[in-house]
A and B are shown apart, each in its own frame.
Chain A
Amino acid sequence: MGVQTMSTQAMTIHWSAFGSVFAVSLGITLLAVVLFSLGIAVWPGADSAGGGQLRTANRSLAMVAAVLCFGACLAVAAYGLVLIIGV
């Protein structure tokens, strides 16, 4: 067919590239999963409703923290989307 010619190549395994893939995968996954889990954990649930003013302030604080966590996850996902589309 002769579309592309390939020379015989020696086997080379790029362990450093593999190490980077491993490290980056682990880092990004843990970052995303931990942030998302924290977001779920601090999200003010329906069962903790009621209570005084302090409780309301706590709830707002928790809500802000959760939104920040989910926002960070969205940013990671958006970067993933850029990687998929942008190449």
Chain B
Amino acid sequence: MGTVSFLLIMVILTALAFDFTNGFHDTANSMATSIATGALRPRVAVIVAGVLNLAGAFLSTEVAKTISGGIVNDAKVSLVMIFAGLVGALLWNLMTWLAGLPSSSSHALFGGLIGAVWVGAGSSAVQFGAIIEKIVIPAILSPIVACFVSLLATYFAYVITRRTAPGQARTGFRRGQIGSASLVALAHGTNDAQKTMGVITLALISAGLLPHNAGPPWWVVLSAGLAIALGTYTGGWRIIRTMGKGLTDIEAPQGFAAETSATTVILASTHMGFPLSTTQVCTGSILGAGLGRKLAKVRWGVAGRIALSWLLTLPAAAAVGGAAAWIADRGTAGVALVAATAAAAAAGFWALSRRRPVTSDNVNELPARQYGQTERTAA
């Protein structure tokens, strides 16, 4: 029988904190365009997304059987490395949230783990082939596929309804958007909450508190579901603003086309054996919706910043994860030091965000300073 160590408790707490940031990072994926087009009021949108994420967490029984899915040699992953990897992912999530950039929480987690395992067990434990296959290639292909699908869908939506009264078209597409956005949120809950459940369950197994191949205990399912739902409800307003208003100007037909494309691409990829990355798919589909409407303005500067953040996700999270693993490996004091530093950094990010707060009230307003003076021209 294993014992509950300080490290194990820190792993569980950090995993839940990561799950929380995962939630508010990804609210934008399902709800940004619905909020931008007025299909749902901001507060209502995050409640819907939160509830559906919670439902999704309970719906799916498919919990990850490995921490990394083969990105690193799972046999060499220790509790300290999981902890350090989670810290790296958590801090990268907070940093990109502060910058309002939709980066992938899964990639951040993989990055953190890669760094921690590299430092803790050497580069031979990192499967570089698998990284290319399972992270880099999907990250490149996801936005391209979603962008193309959404571009065509947007084009057809506008062509077909060009003689329809604008008010009627807007109302219709807004209603459709609520449905497609809800599907994205539900699919997200079945995927992302499982990741945290998997991490905690594997940590409990490695500490000897659960038998091998055990499923997640009920309190793990409940706490992981609640953490991601609460995070979602908190609403990552900064990222929602970037995706709903910053990247391009979204009208109701575009929002519907983007959400439908994102849902279909995510479901097709999950069920046809070529996993794509949700955040990249959702961002790509919004970009496609921008390109598919005549006269719509795509802010390539914003798109470029997002792409840069995707490029940096793995190395940045890996660097933090590696440093955290090195310090946490010194024993309980090291673990405590890493945890305290992470908590301080998180508080710092939060304090910085208070300088220019983005809330449900101003999520649909773009600050001219940040996005240039021209955005109001393309209404």
Binding site for B on A (CB under 8 A): 1-6, 8-14, 17-18, 20-22, 24-26, 28-30, 32-34, 36-41, 43, 45, 47, 73, 77, 80-81, 83-85, 87
Contact = CB atoms under 8 A, between A and B. Distances in A.
Contact of A6 (B73, B205, B261): B73
Contacts of B146: 25
B355 interface: no
Contact of B168 (A12, A36, A45): A45
B267 A33 contact: no
20 contacts: A2-B206, A3-B202, A4-B75, A8-B129, A11-B132, A24-B272, A25-B264, A29-B261, A34-B160, A36-B173, A36-B260, A37-B253, A40-B168, A40-B172, A41-B169, A77-B180, A81-B183, A84-B190, A84-B267, A85-B59
Interface on chain A toward B: helix, strand, loop, or mixed SS?
A: helix
Nearest to A18: B274
B306 interface: no
A17 B149 CA distance: 17
Contact of B257 (A2, A33, A45, A81): A33
A84 B187 contact: yes
A18 B268 contact: no
Given A9-B127, A21-B272, A37 B67 contact: no
B60 interface: yes
B228 to A, nearest CB: 15
Nearest to B77: A1
Interface string B180-196: 10010011001000000
A18 B141 contact: yes
A49 to B, nearest CB: 12
Interface string B28-55: 0000000000000000000000000000
A21 B176 contact: no
B365 interface: no
Interface size range on B against A: 35 or more
Contacts of A30: 149, 152-153, 156
A9 B75 contact: no
A21 B169 CA distance: 30
A25 B268 contact: yes
Contact of B212 (A3, A21, A32): A3
Given A6-B66, A6-B127, A34-B156, A11 B173 contact: no
Interface in B274-305: 274, 276
A5 B270 CA distance: 24
A41 B161 contact: yes
Contacts of B357: none
Nearest to A31: B264
B289 to A, nearest CB: 11
A10 B70 CA distance: 11
Nearest to A15: B274
Contact of A21 (B60, B79, B173, B274): B274
Nearest to A74: B179
B336 to A, nearest CB: 21
A84 B59 contact: yes
Contact of A11 (B59, B133, B148): B133
B74 A6 contact: yes
Question: 3 smallest A-B Cβ distances: which pairs?
Answer: A11-B129, A40-B172, A37-B160
B71 to A, nearest CB: 9
Contact of B268 (A24, A32, A40): A24
A73 B175 CA distance: 12
A7 B291 CA distance: 43
B261 A25 contact: yes
A32 B183 CA distance: 14
Contact of B172 (A14, A32, A39): A39
A43 B172 contact: yes
The residue among B130, B163, B274 with the most chain A CB atoms within 10 A of its own CB is B274
Contacts of A8: 73, 127, 129
The residue among A18, A25, A26, A81 with the most chain B CB atoms within 10 A of its own CB is A25
